[in-house]
Structure 1
Amino acid sequence: MYEIGKRIKTQAIKGIQVHKLNKNKALEILCIIMEKGSILPEHISPKDATLIVMEGALDFKIEGKSFLLYHYEDFMFPKEIPHSVRAKENSRFLIIR
């Protein structure tokens, strides 16, 4: 069955929201929505991952370094390394792992 989803586009930006868009044995795609100023506290990814900023701006911290990420930028990071994310603006991004 084919389906056009609009969850990324239509979900209001309020607080922190995590939506699982797809998951199978090979990969998982998450859409994360963060309101300006919200923080995802330090955590790890179980797999190597790519973050793709769809909208907004993020401060991604990993191994004592801070990376400012803006819309249409992507960032790859390894599994099992603690990291955190702060929304500098209302933001939407994908995690593909």
Structure 2
Amino acid sequence: MYQVKKTIKTQAYDQLTITKLVKTDHLEILAISLEKGTVFPEHTSPTDATLVLLEGDIVFHIHGEDHEVKPLEHLRFPKEEKHWVEAFENSKFLIIR
């Protein structure tokens, strides 16, 4: 019944990679990897969300402000607000929404 999965651990750094880990009527969790120097282009989220950085170093850009996020830090952001992410190092993070 229970199974440990290595989806996040084995997710490659190949520019921008997005893997849906969980999808229900009330919750979605995405695993995202960004290769060093890659930009996750400007987009919006359909719901309020939380970004949790697992490894690496990223900058989250929203409302003309830059927020550097380090491993094991998190950042909440509102739905439908344009934002984009840049990786200073190979990085992996979760989006929980």
Q: So what's the TM-score if we normalise by structure 2?
A: 0.97
CA distance in 2, matches of 1:12, 1:20: 14
Alignment correspondent of 1:67: 67
Alignment correspondent of 1:54: 54
Letter of the 1:19 counterpart: T
Q: Name the SS of the counterpart of 1:89 in structure 2.
A: coil
Alignment correspondent of 1:31: 31
Letter of the 1:21 counterpart: L
Offset of residue 17 of structure 1: 0.2
Identity %: 51
- Alpha-carbon deviations, 1:49-71, whole Å to 9, x = none? 00000000111000010000011
Runs of 4+ deviating beyond 2 Å: none
1:78-89 alignment runs, 5 A limit = 78-89=78-89
- Alpha-carbon deviations, 1:36-88, whole Å to 9, x = none? 00001110000000000000011100001000001110000000000000001
Q: Please tell me the root mean square deviation across aligned C-alpha atoms, in Å.
A: 0.7
Q: Name the SS of the counterpart of 2:8 in structure 1.
A: helix
CA distance in 1, matches of 2:18, 2:34: 9
- Alpha-carbon deviations, 1:8-31, whole Å to 9, x = none? 011221211000000001110000
Q: Which shifted more, 9-18 or 39-48?
A: 9-18
Alignment correspondent of 1:11: 11
CA distance in 2, matches of 1:10, 1:40: 20
Alignment correspondent of 1:95: 95
Contiguous gaps of at least 5 residues in structure 2: none
Q: Name the SS of the counterpart of 1:9 in structure 2.
A: helix
